[in-house]
A and B are shown apart, each in its own frame.
Chain A
Amino acid sequence: MGMVTMNELHKYGRTKFIMPGTAACPGCPLQIGMRQLAMALDGKFVMVIPAGCSSVIPGSAPYTAYTVPVLHVPFASSPAVASGIVRAVRQRGNNGPVVVWAGDGATADIGFATLSGAAYRNEDILYIMADNEAYMNTGIQASGTTPWMAWTTTSPRGKTEDKKDVALIMLMHKVPYVATASIAYPMDFIDKVRRAMQVKGFKFIHLHAPCPPGWKMDDAYTIRAARLAVETGAWILWEYNQGKLTISPPSLPYKDKSRRKPLEEYIKIQGRFAHLKPEDIKIMEEKIDRQWDLILKLAEIFK
């Protein structure tokens, strides 16, 4: 399957995958990501959504902004519910995509057991973890994927723990497809979703989604922050597809440390890191270097 092109996406110019007039905050990354997902799947899929921003964004009954069949489910249950749906529809010969669209809290924390269960059973579902790095819907509380030293309402002096690397944990579940993506690189994300859908079994995509209110930054900085995360090397885009792990094209230049933008550029636009001292940023840089070492070594191993 070739890479997606802008020309190909033109046909969606008039398609409202998400109806206008939602309840999202200005600059919300989740709608951006969800729309890209809908383009990748041509709008024909089922979404299972646990508690989180995405259960509020579609607005209120009897209407919804989502244009695909959606089942809203309790916080921890989405991978298990999706397993049930996929078993039921496959029995009737329906091979359409069943997608879990979940936040970082539902994935890395409360729903981790059901996620692990569905992954090890290799259920035929696509799991998108839209990671805005905290419990934003309840008002910015630290989650398992909140980065080290980030301010949240439950980590007022900065979080003391490191970000949980869910994508690598999923890789160790030996599922056929795991990738990281970013809303700032839509073509890369759409390609990954499409490649994932070629594979039967459990597919996991960790989608980086900067949240303006939660990261204490300007509403207009969503894409800028997501892009800077990649350009500074803080967020590495990689893809594991049935035994082969590769660094994705947008992240390729940043293998070389000298080509990465200074980390300060990414840090300084986020109010949640305002309290960071220069030595903290240094430690952060070291963490990023170690993460790159690890991913590059894994790319060597899964050649």
Chain B
Amino acid sequence: MSVAEKLRGGLLLSTPAEGAGGRTGTWRVYRPVINYSKCTKCGICWLYCLRMLLSGLRIRTSGLTMTIARAVEYARMFALLRLLTWLRRGGWCE
């Protein structure tokens, strides 16, 4: 293997991947909450969203297709599923 290949092989050069900052999993400390009584559907919150949490959700400036609340529900369900899997594997015995 040449030097160039060794350098490319992941030591000197990095490539994009999820979780490069650590295996953060699906938990989070804060969750975005939308106050629908105030929401004007401008979508600007999506531009601020730190961890791209709202990415993949379709936010339109006209028409209410904002499914953020639902996405949060899914995320919770997913977390619950992971918890169940962990329990089934006897997680606490480790």
The interface of chain A, by Cβ under 8 A from chain B, is 6-7, 9-10, 13-16, 18-24, 26-28, 31-32, 35-36, 57-67, 183-184, 186-187, 219-220, 222-223
Residues of the B chain whose Cβ atoms lie less than 8 Å from the Cβ of A63: 14-17, 19-20
Which chain B residue shows the least CB distance to A15? B55
Instruction: State whether A21 touches B22 (Cβ < 8 A).
Output: yes
Contact assessment for B48 and A6 in the assembled complex, using a CB-CB cutoff below 8 Å:
no
Is the contact region of chain B dominated by helix, strand, or loop, or is it mixed? loop
Once the chains bind, are B20 and A65 in contact (CB under 8 Å)? Answer: yes
Q: List 22 A-B contacts (CB under 8 A).
A: A13-B58, A16-B18, A19-B16, A19-B18, A19-B20, A21-B20, A21-B22, A21-B23, A21-B24, A36-B47, A59-B19, A59-B22, A60-B20, A61-B10, A61-B11, A62-B15, A63-B14, A63-B17, A63-B19, A64-B16, A186-B48, A223-B48
- Which residues in chain B, 3-52, are within 8 Å of chain A measured between CB atoms? 10-24, 29-30, 42-44, 46-48, 50-52
Q: In the complex where A6-B42, A6-B43, A32-B48 touch, is A59 in contact with B20 (Cβ < 8 A)?
A: yes
Residues from 49 to 94 in B contacting A, C-beta threshold 8 Å: 50-52, 55-61
Q: Which A residues are CB-close (under 8 A) to B55?
A: 13-16
Which chain A positions have C-beta within 8 A of B17?
A: 19, 63-65
Q: How far is the CA of A12 from the CA of B53 in the complex (A)?
A: 13
Are A186 and B50 neighbours in the complex by a CB distance under 8 Å?
Answer: no
B residues adjacent to A (C-beta < 8 A): 10-24, 29-30, 42-44, 46-48, 50-52, 55-61
Residues of B within 8 A of A19 (CB): 16-20
User: Which of B13, B15, B47, B61 is packed against the most chain A CB atoms within 10 Å?
Assistant: B47
Known: A9-B47, A186-B47. A61 touches B18 (CB 8 A): no
Q: What chain B residues lie within 8 Å of A57 (beta carbons)? A: 21
| Chain A CB within 10 A, most for which of B11, B20, B46, B56 | B20
**Using Cβ atoms and an 8 Å threshold, which residues of chain B touch A187?**
44, 47
User: For residue B24, which residues in chain A have a CB less than 8 angstroms away from its CB?
Assistant: 20-21
Cβ of B50 and Cβ of A27 under 8 Å apart? yes
Complex CA gap A31/B20 in Å reads 14
Neighbour of B19 across the interface among A9, A20, A183, CB < 8 A: A20
Least CB separation from A189: chain B residue: B47
A220 to B49, CA, bound (A): 11
Measured between beta carbons, the chain A residues less than 8 angstroms from B60 are: 10
Beyond known contacts A14-B56, A26-B50, A62-B15: 8 more, CB 8 A cutoff: A6-B61, A10-B59, A27-B50, A31-B51, A61-B11, A62-B11, A186-B48, A220-B30
Q: Are A21 and B18 in contact (CB under 8 A)?
A: yes
Structural contact, B48 and A66, CB atoms closer than 8 A: no
A7 to B44, CA, bound (A): 11
Residues of chain B within 8 A of A67, CB atoms compared? 16
Q: How far is the CA of A10 from the CA of B44 in the complex (A)?
A: 11
Most buried by A among B16, B44, B50, B57: B50
User: Could you tell me the distance in whole angstroms from the C-beta of B63 to the nearest C-beta in chain A?
Assistant: 12
Assembled-state Cα–Cα distance A61/B52 (Å): 22
